[in-house]
Copies of this chain bind each other. A is one copy, B any other.
Amino acid sequence: MLASLISKLVLSAKSPRVPVSTVSTMSTASAAISAAAPSLQPVFDKLFPKVDELQPQFIDVLKHAVEIPAVSGDETLRPQVVKKARYIASQLESLGFTDIQLKELGTQPPPVVDPTLQLPPVVLARYGSDPAKKTVLVYGHYDVQPASRDDGWDTEPFELVVDEQTQQLRGRGSTDDTGPLTGWLHVVRAHREAGIDLPVNLLTCFEGMEESGSLGLEQLIEREATGYFAGVDAVCISDNYWLGTRKPVLTYGLRGCNYYQVSVSGPKADLHSGVFGGIIAEPMVDLVQILAGLVDSQGRILIKGIDEMVAPVTEKERAIYEKIDFSRDELDEAAGSHTALYDRKEDILMHRWRYPSLSVHGVEGAFAGMGAKTVIPARVSGKFSIRTVPDMDSEKLTKLVVDHCNAAFAKLNSPNTVHTELIHDGAYWVSDPYNAQFSAATEATKVVYGVEPDLTREGGSIPITLAFEQLLKTSVLLLPMGRGDDGAHSVNEKLDISNFINGIKLMGAYLHFYAASPEN
């Protein structure tokens, strides 16, 4: 039943189905979940104090995990990545997880220094296998971004520092994603020590290559869809962040990305502008004309036919945006400038999340250095990408883009040649924010934080989200633990202790509400 429901809700750039605007306001599941709150209160009254009580132990586990510099992007640190996988596996074992497997993904494809380099394993484990219970797959990644004291960290990045003053846990991986990943382990531990039965079967899928493109993961999901992952009812990913610093959110959408390259070729080799300037058609001159016709300075895409593909905004959707806690000031602060294209919160968020955008990234083949070089580049490639949203069809979009560039070039009447191509293509993802999982997470948020979560989307993409949804044919929930200012990928990465502890409670409560749902 789940599969058929989801198939109606899921939208992908490759096979658009029912637009999100057709989703009903309140499902049966949603009502039932809401009604379950009073009966679950006694469970939470036992569970939450246990989580509070175990805070020192939870931090201790995180501390040990952070101390292992599991940088997936640094080949020389690959043994450390594997070491961290083993540390997590040992923790899972001590908590009573079964069928623990460190799934090998084979040799890392080029470019690599060591051609025999093995990809880090994916940590699979299960907790419970009661056919009467729903099965939830939780995803996290144990690898981290590089970090060095020299980058400007106030403390050693691979030591978890408990800052008593700010009540924050500082260290590489604290929020991205070791903190949230270990959160699931702590949920189990709190249940065990409080004597509460875990209401679902839990499956872990913890990868060690997320910061380096999740190499091999999609293939693993595909292989295990009818194997280790058979019977999964829902997937929960805790690897993004609140929009701001005050209000918890649930995330139900990601934009896709179609990345294009338009190349103009002329002379056989680069020429000297003194000798050839004025007598030869310059590829760079043609290229800037084409690039200038893609988007205007107000962010309006000038390629005809794209606007028509975008799902219209519904009243219900508008209501989501009106409720969200956000302001233009926050954008200005993030950008470090006052160069936003919109003033209103709703416009900003809609253009970040649910409208397409076109960015011009640069030019390959032209002079890119400092100072002056009098070159006429022989072949230049303009790079631009379009962030995609429902109901844009990737192939149709590419046809519009290529036709547009060809037509723009034809108008130039240039003797050069042009070639436009799609060089990368990642589909968008949008879920139903009122389905059983999201309703469960909404109720859990209300219980833990006392507020209704904001329903957010992300402008960027997390490709593995769509892979889980499509390959396992399940609903996927993005349930962030940390705040928007945690500094993932940056210096002094942190996780507020309150987010850590409340996040563990939220994960636990979500499992209980989801279990109480009559639907998957």
Which one, B278, B292, B372, contacts A259 given CB within 8 A? Answer: B372
Task: List the one stretch of A82-90, A374-382, A497-505 in contact with chain B.
Answer: A374-382
In the complex, which range does the number of interface residues on chain A fall in?
Answer: 35 or more
Asked if residues B460 and A272 are in contact (CB atoms below 8 Å), the reply is yes
* Cβ–Cβ contact A376 & B359, under 8 A: yes
Measured between alpha carbons, how far is A412 from B296 in the docked complex, in Å?
8
CA–CA, A271 and B387, complex, Å: 14
Q: Quick one: which of A78-117 are within 8 Å of B by CB?
A: none
In the bound complex, residues from chain B placing their C-beta under 8 Å from that of A259 are: 372, 374
A416 contact set on B, CB distance < 8 A: 339
A268 at the interface (CB under 8 A from B): yes
Residue A361, interface by CB 8 Å? yes
Within 8 A of B (CB), among A346-380: 348, 351-352, 355-364, 366-377
A341 in the interface, Cβ–Cβ < 8 Å? yes
Given contacts A331-B279, A348-B279, contact A274 B383 (CB under 8 A): no
Given contacts A361-B375, A366-B368, A372-B383, contact A460 B415 (CB under 8 A): no
Q: A297-B413, A412-B297 are in contact. Are A277 and B377 (CB under 8 A)?
A: no
- With beta carbons under 8 angstroms apart, the residue of B275, B277, B339, B387 that contacts A273 is B387
Known: A285-B296, A368-B363, A423-B372. A277 touches B358 (CB 8 A): yes
Q: How far is the CB of A110 from chain B (nearest CB, A)?
A: 13
Q: Is A320's CB within 8 Å of the partner chain B? A: no
Say whether, besides A275-B460, A458-B274, A280 and B367 are in contact (CB < 8 Å).
Answer: no
Question: A364 with B369: in contact, given A266-B339, A275-B460, A289-B292 (CB under 8 Å)?
Answer: yes
7 closest cross-chain pairs (CB), A and B: A274-B460, A268-B336, A278-B357, A362-B367, A362-B366, A292-B292, A368-B368
29 contacts between A and B (CB under 8 A): A257-B274, A259-B372, A267-B336, A267-B337, A268-B335, A273-B385, A274-B458, A274-B460, A274-B461, A277-B352, A277-B459, A278-B352, A278-B356, A279-B299, A279-B340, A279-B357, A281-B341, A284-B359, A284-B362, A288-B360, A296-B412, A337-B415, A339-B414, A360-B366, A361-B375, A362-B363, A362-B368, A364-B368, A368-B368
